[in-house]
Amino acid sequence: MKIAIIKTGGKQYKVKEGQVVKIEKLELEGGSAVSFDTLLVADGNGENVEVGTPTLGERVTGEVIKTEKQDKVLVVKYKNKTRYKKTTGHRQKMTSVMIQKIA
């Protein structure tokens, strides 16, 4: 079984074939194919490692399952002794992707 390090949304993820990964929102609909910029590919026991300088190209492909919002994160602004308190919330949109193939 191969593993890979992919880069998307300013973050890096370690993925395997058949794994479902939640990443930041992609502008794609469910069922569409997506390929990722690949930084590293290795087999399961750590042998035969290929490292890109800086990347290996788009060698990991997947299928978009769905896009949904995460749980709400509360943000509180507070200033001492001035009767100021403000609470806001944020729900990040995440896309679930099934990793199909690592080349």
For 40-53, the pLDDT digits (tens) are 999 888 778 999 98
DSSP letters, the chain, are -EEEEEEETTEEEEEETT-EEEEE--S--TT-EEEEEEEEEEETTS-S-EE-SS--EEEEEEEEEEEEE---EEEEEEETTTTEEEEEEE--EEEEEEEEEE-
15 assigned to some structural domain: yes
What is the per-residue pLDDT for 46? Answer: 77
Number of domains in the chain: 1
75 assigned to some structural domain: no
Range of 40's domain?
2-66+95-102
13: Cβ–Cβ under 8 A, 6 or more apart, which residues? 5, 6, 7, 21, 23
What is the per-residue pLDDT for 103? Answer: 86
What is the per-residue pLDDT for 44? Answer: 80
73 assigned to some structural domain: no
90 assigned to some structural domain: no
* Span 95-99, average pLDDT: 96
pLDDT tens-digit profile of 69-90? 999 999 999 999 999 999 999 9
89 assigned to some structural domain: no
